[in-house]
Amino acid sequence: MQILLIIVHLLAALAYLAAWRAPARFTGFLMLGGLSLHAAALYAAIAGADTWRFGFAPILSATLWIGVAVLWIEGLSVRVEALRIIVLPAAALAALLPLWFPGADMSAYAVRPLFLPHLLIGTMAYGVLAMAAVHALLMTAAERALHGGFDDQGSSPFHRFLDDLPPLLVLERILFRFIALGFALLTLTAASGVLFSEEVFGRPLTFDHKTVFTLIAWAVFGLLLLGRRLWGWRGRTALRLTFGGFFLLLLAYVGSRFVLEVILHRL
C-alpha cells in the first residue's frame, strides 16, 4: 500500500512538471490529470489507512492543489502561461512533500466529531488567503511595471516575466476567486468555532485576541467581496483590503501558533 501511495504522489508531480514544459495544447489535459492524481494522493495522505494525519506538508499540498485548479479553470478562457511557470513547479514539489513530512496522527481527536473538519478547513482557509496575498503582491508588481514604476523595463528575467503575465483584469479575477474561496472556508471555520466551541474544543467559546482578529479579518474579506459586487471595488482598493485582511490573519495565526493555539487551542 505504501508503494502505491508513493507512486500516486510521484505521478501527480510528474504530470504537473509535464504540463509545465508541454506545448500549450497539451497543458490543460496534463494539469487535469495531475489534479486527479494529486487529489487521490491528498486523500490517502490525510485520511487514508483509517487514520487522520495533520501537518504543514499535507495542507501546503492541498493549498497548491487549489491554486492549480483555479489556474486550470482560468486557462479554459484566457492565457495564463506565465502564472503556470510559477505554480506548476511549486505544486509538483508540494505533491511530494507529504511523503517526507506526513504530519501527526490526529485520530485520537476524532472523538470530537467537528474537531478534524474545523482543523483542516481552518488551515486551508489560511493557506488559500495566503495565496491570495502572494497573488496580490504579483499584481502590485505588474501594475507598477505597467505604469513605469520600474527602471530598465525588459532588461531582466523578472521584467520579461511581468510582460508575459495576463492582463490586470484577468489577474484581478483570479485574485477574487482565491478570496471568495478563502472567505467561504474562513466562514466555515469561524462558524464552527463560534457555534460549536464545546464540541470542537471541549470548552466554551472565549473571545481572546485570536478569535477577535480572525473575526475582524473575516469582516474585511466579506466587505471586500460585497464592495466588489455592489460598488465595483477593484485595483488598489482591492489590493489594500487583501493585504489588510491577511495581515489581520497573521496577527491571529502567525507562524506555528496558528496550528498550536488557534486551531488546536494548545492541545
Domain boundaries of the chain, sorted by first residue: 1-111, 112-267
Asked whether the predicted pLDDT for residue 29 surpasses 90, the reply is yes
Bridge partners of 105, per DSSP, are 53
β strands within the chain, DSSP E: 53-54, 104-105
Q: And the C-alpha cell for 131? A: 495565496
* pLDDT for res 262: 47
**What does the alpha-carbon distance between residue 50 and residue 27 come to, in Å, rounded to a whole number?**
35
Q: And the C-alpha cell for 42? A: 491528498
Q: What is the mean predicted confidence (pLDDT) over 7-15?
A: 95
- Quickly tell me which residue has 485520511 as its cell: 47
Q: What is the mean predicted confidence (pLDDT) over 179-193?
A: 90
**What does the alpha-carbon distance between residue 156 and residue 222 come to, in Å, rounded to a whole number?**
38
> Given phi > 0 = left and psi -120 to 50 = alpha, else beta, which region is 48?
beta
Asked whether the predicted pLDDT for residue 232 surpasses 80, the reply is yes
Asked whether the predicted pLDDT for residue 242 surpasses 90, the reply is yes
* pLDDT for res 200: 62
